[in-house]
Structure 1
Amino acid sequence: KKAALESILYSYKHGFSGFAARLTETQARAIA
């Protein structure tokens, strides 16, 4: 599941790069 999670986070960061970066920064820290 870790690989899948990393893959999702990767796609998330690069997919919404810039726009959601601020919105998901807190969530990313919470997950990490």
Structure 2
Amino acid sequence: MRNRISFTRESSKFIAIFYIAHIRHIHLEES
């Protein structure tokens, strides 16, 4: 169970970075 929580936190971090990069990309294209 502890391992699973750790995996979820790592996944969330990766998703957050990917999401921010995606938002920035859209913002750059709009400018």
Task: Name the TM-score, length of structure 2 as normaliser.
Answer: 0.48
TM-score by length of 1: 0.47
- Higher helix fraction (1 or 2): 2
